Amino acid sequence: DAKTTQPTSMDCAEGRAANLPCNHSTISGNEYVYWYRQIHSQGPQYIIHGLKNNETNEMASLIITEDRKSSTLILPHATLRDTAVYYCIVSSYNQGGKLIFGQGTELSVKP
Amino acid sequence: DGGITQSPKYLFRKEGQNVTLSCEQNLNHDAMYWYRQDPGQGLRLIYYSQIVNDFQKGDIAEGYSVSREKKESFPLTVTSAQKNPTAFYLCASSIDHRSPLHFGNGTRLTVT
The alpha carbons of chain A give a radius of gyration, in whole angstroms, of 13
pLDDT at A5: 94
pLDDT average per 10 residues of sequence, chain A (111 residues)? 87 97 92 93 94 94 96 97 95 73 93 95
d(CA A91, CA A27): 9
d(CA A100, CA A90): 8
pLDDT at A45: 96
Q: Looking at CA atoms only, how far is residue B16 from chain A in angstroms? A: 26
Residues of B with CB under 8 A from a CB of A: 4, 31, 33, 35, 40-45, 48, 50, 56, 58-59, 88, 90, 92, 94, 96-106, 108
- pLDDT tens digits, chain B, 112 residues: what are they? 569 999 999 999 999 999 999 999 999 999 999 999 998 888 999 999 999 999 999 989 999 999 999 999 999 999 998 999 999 999 999 998 778 899 999 999 999 9
DSSP strand pairing (B43-51 vs B54-57) = antiparallel
Does the distance separating the beta carbons of A43 and B105 come in below 8 Å? yes
pLDDT, tens only, A92-110 = 766 666 788 888 999 999 9
Angle at B23 between CA B20 and CA B26, to 5 degrees: 155
Q: Looking at CA atoms only, how far is residue B90 from chain A in angstroms? A: 7
Does the distance separating the beta carbons of A36 and B105 come in below 8 Å? no
Contacts of A46 in chain B (CB under 8 A): 100-102
Does the distance separating the beta carbons of B40 and A103 come in below 8 Å? yes
d(CA A55, CA A78): 18
CA-nearest residue of chain A to B97?
A97
Query: Which DSSP category does A95 fall into?
Result: G
Residues of A with CB under 8 A from a CB of B: 2, 34, 36, 41-46, 49, 87, 93, 95-104
Q: Looking at CA atoms only, how far is residue B49 from chain A in angstroms? A: 9
pLDDT at B92: 95
pLDDT at A93: 67
Contacts of A102 in chain B (CB under 8 A): 42
Report CA A71 to chain centroid distance, whole Å: 8
| CB atoms closer than 10 angstroms to residue A78 | 21
